[in-house]
Amino acid sequence: MLRRLLRTSYKYTMLSSKDIVETTEPALNVENTENTEGQSARGHIWRRDRFCGAILFNFLAFVLPALYGTLSKLWVANIDSTMVVTVDSYTYIGVVAEVINEGLPRAAWVIIGDKSSRSLSSRIGLAQTLILFQSLLGLGVSLIILGAAKEFAASFVPVEVRQASLTYVRISSFSVFSGAIEAAVTNATRALDLPDVPFTISIVRFIVNILLDLLLISRFHIGNFTPSVNTQAGIRLGCDFAAALSGSPFSSSSPLLVFLRPGIPPIVESAVRNALYLWLVANIVSMGANYATAWGVFNTIRWGLVMVPVQTLEATALTFTGHAWGRWRNEVGGELRKAKASRNQMRGIATPALPSAAVALLIEVPLCIFLSLFGCRPFARYISGSDTVGSITAHMWQTIDWCYIFYALSTQLATILLATVPRWYLYQSLVSNICYVLPWAIVCQVGHLNAKDAWTYHSFVFGGSLVFSFFDVLLFVILWAWKLHRGTLNLDKVQIA
């Protein structure tokens, strides 16, 4: 499917090197494309290689998995409400997967997204290399989690349902494999101005998941057997693979070394951040089933539909910031280690992130207010089947909901760093995690917390880190602009595969 889409897109996006150098189109339309009849594509804002069109495709790609993540908990709640917390192990396995999925794939924006210095064939070859390498890496991590299923469950599943959750963990371990393929495909194709590929992946998984869930584990399922959470895990894993493979070309034609320099900072950043997060989660799970279930439901709200606009805008901003940065590097010379950028050039590079931040603010403020006042408690009560869990979840959300407004803003601003000089993205994350999250994680570990007072501390960790990160990212973006304008920012050489 990806090959077919790439062949189709080639006639719309291929430019000569002269066309690329001489283009003066504004930052959001960073490439002056032409259709097959030679007519200008400017003004077709809903094309997939335009900013607004990319937002639309990315929104559809993110909203479907978030919707299914919510529905899957409803299916499990109908089967056995005590096993809702078991489904969270799928999420925590996904956190482990993030360490590899946020490494080389996040270098796609500055490598594959550079369509000014690289030909389309070179960018496609780099995408294929990335997908193949990530597939092998994901398979290796899946096998490790499979072999350590008991130890994993001991850390991230409450003792009340731990033994019953082992099979679920073993099945879900291979979601790292499918997730690695999908992360590589989605990042690479978005960087290639093909956001419809991630959308295709999402819609394949969503439709097949819903159909199989209705047929096999819903109240109206076929046959006389009794469905279990393991049935749901098997369906989900199978659909994850079907979706990931629906957009994956398994061939390689470019050297992997091109990704290493820009790919190492994101993978170090992700490893540090997620290691601290899993440490905190293990502490949360030790508080008991009700508290752990409430945290899982909270995450369903937090990282489900609420964060879809933020993720959509982030992916779009990364794509077009990468394009603008590549064009500027091509203009000043890709071999230069230091180069000055004018205020207008910096504004052009940062332009995709600024409207994204404004839109995120307009969406997240009323959404957070609505959930705090009306939606959080009944949703949590319905999905968990417990008044106690509903009350704990509502308290969690109402305590730190405003912090996610800062998260929405910092996420968009951080795209400037990630899509231009990835090591600066690492620096800001290390400052946040080492100076703020780590001390609080130590306090939570040695403080002998119980379920009654734990959230007093956990709210400072999770909510406070979001506020701290906003000012941290803002400071680094200002420093980035200051050094780039003075010509003192160290730049990586553009390596052409």
User: Which of 420, 302, 415, 403 is closest to 357 using CA atoms?
Assistant: 415
Average pLDDT, 10 consecutive residues per value, the chain (497 residues): 43 36 38 39 72 90 84 72 73 85 88 88 89 91 91 82 82 89 92 90 86 77 74 82 70 70 88 90 85 86 83 94 92 84 92 93 89 82 81 89 92 95 92 93 85 87 94 96 92 75
Angstrom distance (rounded) from CA 150 to CA 165: 9
Angstrom distance (rounded) from CA 446 to CA 444: 6
User: Which of 190, 18, 172, 29 is closest to 88 using CA atoms?
Assistant: 172
| pLDDT of amino acid 251 | 55
- Residue 244 tokens, joined: 């990931």
Q: Is the Cβ–Cβ distance between 292 and 285 less than 8 Å?
A: yes
Angstrom distance (rounded) from CA 347 to CA 391: 46
| pLDDT of amino acid 320 | 94
| 3-state SS track over the chain | CHHHHHHHHHHHHCCCHHHHHHCCCCCCCCCCCECCCCCECCCCCCCCCCHHHHHHHHHHHHHHHHHHHHHHHHHHHHHCHHHHHHHHHHHHHHHHHHHHHCCHHHHCCCCCCCCCCCCHHHHHHHHHHHHHHHHHHHHHHHHHHHHCHHHHHHHHCCHHHCHHHHHHHHHHCCHHHHHHHHHHHHHHHHHCCCCHHHHHHHHHHHHHHHHHHHHHCCCCCCCCCCCCHHHHHHHHHHHHHHHHHCCCCCCCCCCCHHHHHHHHHHHHHHHHHHHHHHHHHHHHHCCCHHHHHHHHHHHHHHCCHHHHHHHHHHHHHHHHHHHHHHHHHHHHCCCCCCCCCCHHHHHHHHCCHHHHHHHHHHHHHHHHHHHHHHHHHHHHHHHHCCHHHHHHHHHHHHHHCCHHHHHHHHHHHHHHHHCCCHHHHHHHHHHHHHHHHHHHHHHHHHCCCCCCCHHHHHHHHHHHHHHHHHHHHHHHHHHHHHHHHHCCCCCCCCCCC
Find tokens 């509502």 and name the residue: 394
| pLDDT of amino acid 437 | 93
Max CA-CA distance within the chain?
72
Angstrom distance (rounded) from CA 469 to CA 467: 5
Q: Is the Cβ–Cβ distance between 336 and 491 less than 8 Å?
A: yes
Cα-Cα end-to-end distance for the chain: 24
Beta-bridge partner residues of 311: none
Cα distances from 1 to residues 4, 7, 145, 189, in angstroms, run 5, 10, 31, 12
Please state the pTM of the whole predicted model.
0.82
Contacts of 186 (CB under 8 A, 6+ apart): 61, 197, 198, 201, 247
Cβ burial of 373 (10 Å; 0-12, 13-18, 19+) is exposed
